[in-house]
Structure 1
Amino acid sequence: MDLTTSTSSPTTAAPEPITGSCLCGGIQYEVTGEPMKRVMCHCENCRKFTGSSFMANSFMKESQLTIKSGESLIQSFKDTKVDSGNTLERRFCRVCGSPVYVTSSRAEGFVVVPSGTMDGEAGRKWRPEVEFWCKERREYLPVVEGTQALEMD
């Protein structure tokens, strides 16, 4: 699946920037424009990174993300044991542990922003288009209606 191609339809007006932060508020960010894809990932590493049953991700161009404050609080973990074979650079707040964004060795110039850190309406209205690593989905979670479900063998 090509995550660099947008499935969103063009709009006449640019959407409002989306703001977000870590749990302690030390890191503040802004994203502009629509994500290329909205993805739920059920892989073990994403579950462990979020401490939840899945990770809800917005795939964006790196230029769409601006760290507004707290850049010095961003800690990084190089995740090399992922099923896809990519090396993921997982960035999080060193104070509160909240995930902030992720980059991949196979997608230079792109970032993954967790929707759970998005503020207000943008976070509430976030809806996935694709689900990855569905073979690892927790049994109690249903498939989200309208998503493309990928096993990712």
Structure 2
Amino acid sequence: MAAPYSGRCLCGGIRFTIASEPSAILSCFCEHCSKGAGSTNQIIAKFAHADVKISAGQHLIATYTFITDTSSGAPKAKAFCRTCGAPLWTVPASARGTHLLIRPSLLSEHHFKPQSEIFVGHRPAWATAVEGAEQWQGVRGK
């Protein structure tokens, strides 16, 4: 499936569309993503913020901001649904106003395969790397 994509939170209160393809698809093993996903890692699709349109439930979007406990040391916001608690997207300081790091599982079609895996030093020993994906000890490119 290709853009546009439609997505929603678990309860359906928040609905949105995305008019573009993701510029990156990542699997992140950092502590924030693991705990936020309730798993070993979280899949993230990086979309242009301008291409994401909230069609319902804007008032249901809540944000938690990590002030300094981040890999960059800069604030990072995580959005979620106030009703069902579903994680929606992350906005690191470097992406503010330009990109949303959206959870592809929210999309009606989520066929995205990670191109990169980050913070792989936190990957459990029993988990294997995604075949063909770049592997990074920290953030992508470092």
TM over 0.5: yes
In the other structure, the counterpart of 1:40 is 27
4+ aligned runs moved over 4 Å, structure 1:
none
1:86 aligns with 2:74: yes
In the other structure, the counterpart of 2:57 is 70
Which amino acid letter does the alignment assign opposite residue 74 of structure 2? N
1:35, distance to aligned residue in structure 2 (A):
0.6
Please state whether the residue corresponding to 2:46 is helix, strand or coil: strand
1:88, distance to aligned residue in structure 2 (A):
1.1
Alignment of 1:1-153 (within 5 A): 15-80=2-67, 81-108=69-96, 109-119=98-108, 122-123=109-110, 125-152=111-138
Give deviations 1:62-114, integer Å, cap 9, x for gaps. 11111110010001000231223232110000111101111111123111101
Please state whether the residue corresponding to 2:95 is helix, strand or coil: coil
Contact preservation (8 Å) 2:20, 2:48: no
Identity of aligned residues (%): 26
Residue correspondences, number: 136
In the other structure, the counterpart of 1:5 is none
- Unmatched 5+ stretches in structure 1: 1-14
Contact preservation (8 Å) 2:29, 2:119: yes
Give the TM-score taking structure 2 as reference length: 0.90
